Amino acid sequence: MPDNALLSLSNSLAELVERAGRSVVAVAGGRRFPASGVHWRPGLVVTAEEALERDDDIALLMPDGRKADASLIGRDPSTDIAALRFQADGLPVVEAGDAASLRAGNLVLTVGRTEAGPVASCGIAAVAGGAWHSMRGGAIDRFIRLDLSLVPAAEGGAMLDAAGKVMGIAVRGARRRVLGIPASTVDRVVDQLLAKGHVARGYLGAGLRPVRHGAQPGILIVSLDASGPAARAGLLVGDIVTAWNGSPVTRVREAMLLLGPESVGAAAQLKLVRGGAPLDLVVTIGERPRG
């Protein structure tokens, strides 16, 4: 009987799902339906931050049907990553790959878990672009959009390449598009969550809005935290920021993207217009207060 290439492909995909599924758990974190999570490091599960509606009373369903309690290590809404600690009891850790190798058109799989067992989707990487920032300001190493259907139960589950390597986790983006958060981003965020329990964000301590000063656009200081970095550096309400570390700033979002984790404790050189006259000030960026 001649080889059936389609059957061979079908069986190969099923084997990839089965293998990855040994490290994928269901996560009950307050939503009506559980999501999924990936055993990323020994005793540590990563999942989609949006999948957790509470910080405690989180339960995991293992591939062998066992249930386990999990505690929240930390969560980062800006990258949609949360990390949980649990007793692994022999559950294998996934084999992570490098999402930098993904190209548009590459075959991708997602693997989640339900009470009935693994749940899988198959499609392609519709977009595999460069680094980007989420709407919440999170730095993500690659923009990966998946052309496949992701059931709610698989959100936070594994994203695989055709070799079965876990390229990252699958989450839902704007307009319900399916995005892949690369493994390198997951690792970086997990390191920060383990160190601090949260991902630090820079804090200027000023309310901002865009404004056009003559022919030159900028950002108007409309309010100040009296004890914040901007006020300590001497900024005043009514100042117009026109450049940040030598680069023009014309939109509030541009300023927000400059307040990433790496900005905390760094000096920002600001060019201002105050009362129609140019002025230079240096602000030491603080850490955004939590809560």
Q: What would the pLDDT profile of 131-183 be if each residue is shown by its tens digit?
A: 999 988 899 999 999 999 999 999 999 999 999 999 999 999 988 899 999 99
Strands 166-172 and 216-224, how do they pair?
unpaired
| pLDDT of 117 higher than 90 | yes
| pLDDT of 84 higher than 90 | yes
pLDDT of 215: 66
pLDDT of 235: 97
% of the chain exceeding 90 in pLDDT: 85
Is residue 62 helix, strand or coil? coil
| pLDDT of 195 higher than 90 | yes
What the chain holds in terms of domains, given with CATH numbers, is: 5-85 (2.40.10.10), 99-183 (2.40.10.10), 202-287 (2.30.42.10)
Residue type, 70: A
| pLDDT of 50 higher than 90 | yes
pLDDT of 212: 80
User: What's the rounded Cα separation, in Å, for the pair 127 and 179?
Assistant: 9
| pLDDT of 1 higher than 70 | no
- Given its phi and psi angles, is residue 30 left (phi above 0), alpha (psi -120 to 50 degrees) or beta? left
**What is the rounded average pLDDT of the residues 14-31?**
95
